[in-house]
Amino acid sequence: MKELIETLYKNKDLDGGGLKLLIDTEDTDLLYEKAVEVRRKYYKTAVYTRGLIEFTSYCKNNCLYCGLRADNKNLKRYRLTKEDILSCCGTGYEIGFRTFVLQGGEDMAYSDKDICSVVSEIKSRFPDCAVTLSIGERSFEAYKAYREAGADRYLLRHETADEAHYKRLHPENMSLENRKRCLFDLKKLGYQVGSGFMVGSPYQTIDNLVSDLRFLQELRPDMIGIGPFLPHSDTPFADREKGSLKRCLNLIAILRLMFPYALIPATTALGTIHPLGREMGLKAGANVVMPNLSPTGVRKLYSLYDNKICTGEEAAECRDCLAGRVRSAGFELVTDIGNVKKSPLADIDTA
């Protein structure tokens, strides 16, 4: 195991067999230690924070795993207005957020013009902040318009890089091909791009996870978000097993070694699967947290999976709570726009 970790640490590629051994290793001390050493080399002790604004729970899609899927008729839906969103940003700015992530279902009630108008207003009121969008699959023209309006970053997990697996998680009208097209379009347009996948989604094999790592080597994203799959009681996957915490942590460490510069969040899903999951994520190589800035009244309604944490506290309480958690893991929550240190072109040597 030591040799495999050293190979990744030296920025050399591993074959699929080596990656599989690391994904399931019980021998995690050295793996996490090396991952943290690498993150310290590029980011010292800084943990970046992003204010997450979940601005709509309407979605036209029907991803089988997600509680926001259109066919979930048990969910009370909401959308925030432009003024609501700006007010969340104002609150966030005061307590030290310098990135706002606008996330939502694929809600066609907001036209591209509406999205552009919100983005450009945020950029004009908070010029020292980054705006990240996470609103799913759109056309090249739409992504171009958002970028021209000022959007800096875009989060779109590829979810799984295996065609057959993708089909089992999504309805007929969605395709891995289009998901990938979106990601490469976003790169072309100069966004800082985030991708990623769920760990332990139904039918996922360890070979699928190796394909996910290979796809990320091809895409070279700036941000990589992973988290455990967690079932939602009003979806077709209600009775499925949740993802494994250990696999998630091992994968965070592997990602850190493979993509030294990447921005890797300790996700809410990680904090949901274990009370100290986010701290564990930071200790395995993550360097970003994404506290919730949405109005408390709607947080429970953004219901991707059951028992989601952080649905009750005000934004300032969330930030303070997270700052304490970050400190307890040995790092420091910073007020910083939190750009990637360097384009990850020098990531793992696959030669």
Chain positions contacting ligand SAM, by CB under 6 A = 65-66, 68, 103, 105-106, 134, 136, 156-157, 159, 198, 227, 229-230, 232, 269, 304-305
Q: Judged by CB, which is closer to ligand SAM: 234, or 347? A: 234
Q: How far is the CB of 201 from ligand SAM (least distance, A)?
A: 8
| Residue 305 binds which of ligand SF4, ligand SAM, none (CB < 5-8 A, kind-dependent) | ligand SAM
d(CA 131, CA 125): 12
Q: Judged by CB, which is closer to ligand SAM: 32, or 305? A: 305
Q: Are 278 and 270 in contact (CB under 8 A)?
A: yes
Q: Judged by CB, which is closer to ligand SAM: 47, or 304? A: 304
> Hunting for tokens 């997270």 — which residue is that?
322
Cα–Cα distance list, 316 to 90, 91, 95 (Å): 12, 8, 6
| Residue 268 binds which of ligand SAM, ligand SF4, none (CB < 5-8 A, kind-dependent) | none
| Residue 69 binds which of ligand SAM, ligand SF4, none (CB < 5-8 A, kind-dependent) | ligand SF4
d(CA 192, CA 129): 14
Q: Judged by CB, which is closer to ligand SAM: 59, or 326? A: 59
Amino acid (1-letter code) at residue 259: F
Q: How far is the CB of 69 from ligand SF4 (least distance, A)?
A: 4
Locate 16 and state its tokens.
Answer: 């699929």
| Residue 292 binds which of ligand SF4, ligand SAM, none (CB < 5-8 A, kind-dependent) | none
Q: Which residues bind ligand SF4 (CB under 6 A)?
A: 59, 61, 63, 66, 68-69, 105-106, 136
What is 234-260 written as a DSSP string? TSTTTTSPPPPHHHHHHHHHHHHHHST
Cα–Cα distance list, 69 to 5, 19, 63, 325 (Å): 39, 33, 6, 32
